[in-house]
Homo-oligomer: A and B are copies of this chain.
Amino acid sequence: MTDATPLDGLIALLARLPGLGPRSARRAALHLLKRRDALMLPLAEALAETARSVKTCTTCGTLDLTDPCRICSDDTRAEGPLCIVEQVGDLWAIERTGSFKGRYHVLGGTLSALEGVGPDALGIPKLIARVQQAGTGEIILALNATLEGQTTAYYLTEALADTGAKLTRLAHGVPVGGELDYLDEGTLMAAFSARRSVE
């Protein structure tokens, strides 16, 4: 391939997917070309179809086929806590546990002075209005345990203080299956200070 061809264009687009670089994009393109009917054309169709049909829920910010999404339309979830997450992928991760039965609010990012992301860009005024209107009892701040996530959680703690909702955050500690020897000091300190009595 010396000149630009559709194949070069495809490889350039594939290389922009997270987890793929130029080399793996070439390998993926060859993989696809060997499986035109079984994989390549179905993938083209699935991309177009998903781009057309998947909407952002105007209530919680997640992606679904309907707006409001299935979680926001599910009345059995109305009584549960409101869980605030950074990204849609975080919501999916929590849903896969099957243990949370409330609703969500997807911020879509974290506060960042450097990148000009303020409270308005994350829809925080809308979130406060939603909490006040719903009379939410508990808000779970399920943000990443990163500097950005925790800065945003701190801001939210202040911003949501007047709503009357109880604010909680996820527990820090040793990951299930984790080995102490491989843990960073911060996690180990958090696990120590949050130690619990053995039943």
Q: List residues of chain B with CB within 8 A of the CB of A165.
A: none
Q: List residues of chain B with CB within 8 A of the CB of A31.
A: 17-18
- One of A20-28, A124-132, A182-190 at the interface: A20-28
Judging by beta carbons under 8 Å apart, are A47 and B19 in contact?
no
Judging by beta carbons under 8 Å apart, are B51 and A44 in contact?
yes
Judging by beta carbons under 8 Å apart, are B30 and A43 in contact?
no
Minimum CB–CB distance for A137 against chain B, Å: 24
We find that the number of chain A residues with CB closer than 8 angstroms to chain B is: 48
Judging by beta carbons under 8 Å apart, are A65 and B18 in contact?
no
Judging by beta carbons under 8 Å apart, are A89 and B30 in contact?
yes
Minimum CB–CB distance for A64 against chain B, Å: 8
Judging by beta carbons under 8 Å apart, are A43 and B6 in contact?
no
**Does any Cβ of B come within 8 Å of A16's Cβ?**
yes
Given A19-B20, A20-B19, A53-B6, A41 and B48 contact (CB-CB distance below 8 Å): yes
- One of A32-40, A146-154, A171-179, A191-199 at the interface: A32-40
Instruction: Classify the secondary structure of A's interface with B.
Output: helix
Q: How many of these chains are in the complex? A: 2
A50 partner, pick from B7, B20, B24, B42, beta carbons under 8 A = B7
Judging by beta carbons under 8 Å apart, are B10 and A46 in contact?
yes
**Does any Cβ of B come within 8 Å of A13's Cβ?**
yes
Q: List residues of chain B with CB within 8 A of the CB of A170.
A: none
Judging by beta carbons under 8 Å apart, are A27 and B32 in contact?
no
Q: List residues of chain B with CB within 8 A of the CB of A133.
A: none
Q: Restricting to A89-114, which residues have a CB under 8 Å from any CB of B?
A: 89, 92, 95
How far is it, in angstroms, between the C-alpha of A13 and the C-alpha of B39 when the chains are bound?
Answer: 7
**Does any Cβ of B come within 8 Å of A157's Cβ?**
no
Judging by beta carbons under 8 Å apart, are B20 and A27 in contact?
no
3 A-B pairs with least C-beta separation: A44-B47, A19-B24, A10-B46
